[in-house]
Structures are given as C-alpha cells and as structure tokens.
Amino acid sequence: MSELRRADAADVPALRRIASAAYSPYLPRMGGQRPGPLDADYAAAVAHDETWVACVDGDPVGYLVLTDDAPDSLVLDNVAVLPDHHGRGVGRALLALAEERAAARGRTRIRLFTHVTMVENQALYERIGYVETHRATEGGVTRVFYEKVL
C-alpha cells in the first residue's frame, strides 16, 4: 500500500512527471486538445490548494489536488497515478482521501469534471458513487461533470 502525505515544494517535479505519464496517453484521442493537468501550475497547487502525494517506497507515484468550491463542497481538481501503478489501489486510496478531507472540512459533497474522451475515468467515478450532473462544452472542450454526496 502507498503512503499518503501532503505535498511540498520539493514534490513539484514529481507532480509534473506523474501528470505527463498519466495524461499524455489521452492526447491522440483528444484531437489536438491538451489535458489541463499537463499544463497545470503545480507549484501554485502545492502552495495554495490541498495537494497530496501517494508514495511507494518513498517515491511519489500519484497525487491529488483539492480546491475550495462552495461552502458545502470541495472540487477534486486533479488526481493522477503513474500508469505502471494502475490497479494497485493507489487511485482508490487518493479518492478515499478526498472524501475524508471533505468530511473533515465539513463539506457534504465532492465535485469533479473530466474530459468526455476519458471514459476509463468516468467508469471509475461511477463505480465509486459519483453521479453525472451534466455535460458542457466551452472553447471546444467537452467535459463531463460529476458529484458525490458524502
């Protein structure tokens, strides 16, 4: 099992590396669009958001970024796991942590969105209790929005 801890500035290069490995495979199916996590400001996420890393033997293999939304919810802004660690429970541990952190902060729901072509992520979210609330296209990017009531 992985160790979960708050990210710090020293983790920023690892967050970028994990994002690149996790999101680059989607580039061919996204028709020239880039997943937002490939260009995210991870230094700002560590400094201003609730950012966590999952480590195996001390090495970061996944991460989670939570941001404030409304008084009753948090946004699961970004979650990623290195592809060679898929299927080992790292992603589920990070998603469970998101729920724990929302509850600890007195929030009753978590919101997230994903690109319409990331069907694997959509299936996972639905399996663990997230409900699609709507789809929206902005700037040529179609996203699927989800919510989980805690």
Asked whether the whole model's pTM tops 0.85, one would answer yes
Task: Quick: pLDDT tens for 54-99.
Answer: 999 999 999 999 999 788 999 999 999 999 999 999 999 999 999 9
Task: Quick: pLDDT tens for 30-60.
Answer: 988 899 999 999 999 999 999 999 999 999 9
DSSP state letters, 30-61: GTT---GGGG--HHHHHHHSEEEEEEETTEEE
Write down the domain spans for the chain. Answer: 3-149
Architecture of 3-149 per CATH?
3-Layer(aba) Sandwich (3.40)
